[in-house]
Structure 1
Amino acid sequence: MLDRFSDRMGDLVVGLINAVVVLGWTLTAAALHARDTPGLNETLAWVMMTVTVVALFWRSAYPLTVTLVTVACTIVYYPASSIDGPMLMAFVISLYTLAALGRVLAASVIAGATFVVIVVSEVLADFAHMTASETFMLGGWVIAVPAIGAVVAHHRRYRAETAVALAETQKRSVAEERLRIARELHDAVGHHLSLINVQTVAALRKLDRNPLFRTEETLRVVADTSSLSLRELRALVGVLRDPDEDAPTGPGPSLDQLPSLVEAARASGVEVDLRVDGSADLPAAVDAAAFRVVQESLTNVLRHAKAKRVQVKVVTGTSTLAIAVLDDGVGEVKGAKGPGNGLTGMRERAEGLGGSFYAGPRDDGGFVVEATWPLGVQS
């Protein structure tokens, strides 16, 4: 609606300027040359001028019709009138508008036909109205007008396509950011809540069997884990806050945090063996993704695998980083047969950075998660 309103206002402004110039010029010329020899039909000439002036007010709504009307009126006007006024303005403006609105072919055909009419009529009249140079200069301007309009149309189309592409990019960025936040919430906060759940359920079972069971150690693990969870939440909230505001972001997830992650899993009653081979300055994105995959794998083991022993292997080579999490569980890991949020998120974290991912049951029992990343990823 705003574009239509803008076009309408433009038509009104251009139409008024054209009317003032054409009518003012022609009336002044008619008063100054009142005693000159009249043209073939001055009344018809004034009618043609009035039609072009009025028609131009609808140049954007009906560009082709207005262009045809103005060219026809212009061709009739000049032989009929003795006043050589700026009648041609309406035709030039409408021809430009036709091309600028994308009707370049139609504008070119009309311009070419007009050029032929101008040149042929002057040649047949032995250049009685204009010199040869003036004739071809006028014809050249008629040809140039749609060319200028075509450039404007191309620019408008480019701007429109750029705006659409920018809008699509923004939508895609928003979707990717929402997916990233969802993964962070699932992997980080979900892991900590799973540990808290495992610890509290185990403590409740022990209390049922032994009312004198001391829960200090369990509560300490729950407190530490909940503290980590709150820290992760603050970091996520900090990302969402205004960049000009102070946000408690803290360090991002990293494989350097694996020992504390393993200790938390061990506190839940699972024997965890951590092996790290090789070291290198990892790209931040790869470092964070690898940590999250190990974290989610341990979460799945604690929640679903009923495992007693877990092996976590981290191997850093010259060009790749590989991790593997193997358990001896007898339970079916959620997502082994049909990928759930956990396995899907891990796969996205690996393959999204050009790596590979595999998760499935082991031949000798248990479950394995394996992922690799190239170290050439941009941080």
Structure 2
Amino acid sequence: MTFGSLFRPIDLVVGSVNAVVVIAWSLVQWELKSIDVQGLSENLGWIAMSVSVVVLFFRSAYPLAVTVATWAATIVYYPSSSTDGPMLSAFVIALYTLASLGRLVAASVIAAATFVIVVVSEVVSNFAHMTVSETLMLGGWIVAVPAIGAVVAHYRRYRAETLIALDEARRRSVAEERIRIARELHDAVGHHLSLINVQTAAALRKLRKDPGYRTEDVLAIVAETTQLSLRELRAMVGVLREAGEDSPTGPGPGLDDLPSLVDAARASGLDVELRVDGSAELPAAVDAAAYRVVQESLTNVMRHARASRVQVRVVTGTSTLAVAVADDGVGDAKGQKAAGNGLTGMRERAEGLGGTFDAGPREDGGFIVEATWPLEVAK
């Protein structure tokens, strides 16, 4: 055990103050010959006082042992010494420390035993040292000390549990934010890179067949897609750089941006039909989540489905928003089930806002993704 664990700064302060008060008070009484009742052994009284003063410095390291030691020293001191000094203070401090450190049962037992000893001894001596009211008052204080310590112990335990809960909440918040950022980057950048990959791969195939093939249109689409990707990345970085609780969790694209998303998919060679029924003012989180589900669905179609036609439908009802993306491809959804990608990410976006998600092969061929959200999202 190190020196720091034996002597806490507060223990050194409390022990030093107690030592100065007890010794100085006792010496003054001794010099003034302020004798209460003739003691049985003055030397034994001084030894008991010294023990109680010294052991109090170890009250935090050994709370029970110090309480028992000061209790025994106090019992020995008062019959032995002819001066009625503040010797009891060390025992009171040790008893409080024992209770405040959570040892309430031990503190209560010692306090009860002390109360019985004080009352019985005074009754037997016909209250030679204290009056009846003084005896009961002293006994009451001895009983109250563990109660005060118990209140302090409860507060310390509550504070420690609160700090642990806050730390866990902070860690959970950081983890959720990292997942959210990863999902945003995957959906936005992944989609644009998929478009670029499809366009460049198709251009390379055509160039191999026809070296005179002109690539201006393809390069224009790639340039526009790259510009869109950079714009979304700048928006994300701008949000991350803003500090404070009032900082936005966007900006980000929403369902109003679906036409440009569909146009980009069409430029890759897909026949995309967009149908929008109904309109309403959507919660920002729902608006962004619905857009990302459509975006990721189109990305997966281009990557995995080998489809030629895709239908995107958005229906806004009185209390629910629904989106569906259906294609006529092979319907196996390969590559969409890895954690943090594809179907998993879309499911998180839907269910995380109280919505539903379903995806799977269609009976007549192809694959369909369906998601719904309530128009009122709990904050």
TM over 0.5: yes
Residues 329, 352 of structure 1: alpha-carbon distance in 2 compared, 3 angstrom cutoff = same
Which one is further off, 327-336 or 134-143? 327-336
Alignment of 1:273-292 (within 5 A): 273-292=273-292
1:25 matched to 2:25: yes
Residue of structure 1 in register with 2:193 after alignment: 193
Give the Cα–Cα distance (whole angstroms) in 2 for the partners of residues 284 and 218 of structure 1: 34
Pairwise CA distance, 1:19 = 0.5
Residue pair 1:335, 1:343 contacting (<8 A) in 2 also: no
In structure 2, how many angstroms separate the alpha carbons of the residues matched to 1:3 and 1:301? 68
CA deviations over 1:180-239 (Å, ceiling 9, x no partner): 001001100100000000000011111111111111111111011101111111122222
CA spacing shift, 1:238–1:35, aligned 2, 3 Å: closer
SS at the partner of 2:372? strand
Q: CA deviation at 1:38?
A: 4.0
- Larger mean CA deviation between 36-45 and 65-74 belongs to 36-45
SS of the residue corresponding to residue 269 of structure 1 reads coil
Indicate the percent of aligned positions where both proteins have the same amino acid.
Answer: 72
Q: Which moved more, 1:325-334 or 1:14-23?
A: 325-334
Q: Secondary structure at the match of 2:297?
A: helix
Aligned positions of 1:119-198 closer than 5 A: 119-198=119-198
| Structure 1 residues 90-129: Cα deviation after superposition (integer angstroms, max 9, x where no partner) | 0000000000001011101110110111011111111110
> Separation in 1 of the partners of 2:22 and 2:224?
85
Could you tell me which residue of structure 2 aligns to residue 298 of structure 1?
A: 298
Question: How many Å separate the matches in 2 of 1:140 and 1:257?
Answer: 76
Unaligned runs of 5+ in 1: none
Q: Which amino acid aligns with 2:147?
A: A
Partner AA of 1:215 in structure 2: T
* TM-score (ref. length: structure 2): 0.95
Alignment coverage as a number of residue pairs: 377
Please state how far the C-alpha of 1:296 moved relative to its aligned partner. 0.1
Classify the secondary structure of the residue corresponding to 2:322.
strand
CA distance in 2, matches of 1:347, 1:2: 54
User: Could you state the TM-score of these two structures normalised by the residue count of structure 1?
Assistant: 0.95
* One-letter amino acid of the structure 2 residue matched with residue 306 of structure 1: R
| Cα shift at 1:331 | 6.0
CA contact (8 A) 1:360 1:368 kept: yes
Q: Show the counterpart of 2:329.
A: 329
Per the alignment, do residues 3 and 184 of structure 1 end up closer, same or farther by CA in structure 2, a change over 3 Å counting?
farther
Q: Distance in 2 between matches of 1:226 and 1:243?
A: 28
Structure 2's unaligned 5+ residue stretches are none
Distance 2:104 2:255 in 1: 61
Cα deviation for residue 13 of structure 1 reads 1.1
| RMSD of aligned alpha carbons | 2.2
Alignment partner, residue 348 of structure 1: 348
The aligned residue for residue 10 of structure 2 is: 10
Query: What is aligned with 1:271?
Result: 271
Secondary structure of the corresponding residue to residue 243 of structure 1: coil
For 1:11 and 1:313, how far apart are their aligned partners in 2?
Answer: 72
Q: Distance in 2 between matches of 1:181 and 1:340?
A: 11
- Partner of residue 314, structure 1: 314
Structure 2 CA distance for aligned equivalents of residues 94 and 122 of structure 1: 24
Letter in 1 for 2:168: E
Amino acid at match of 1:19: A
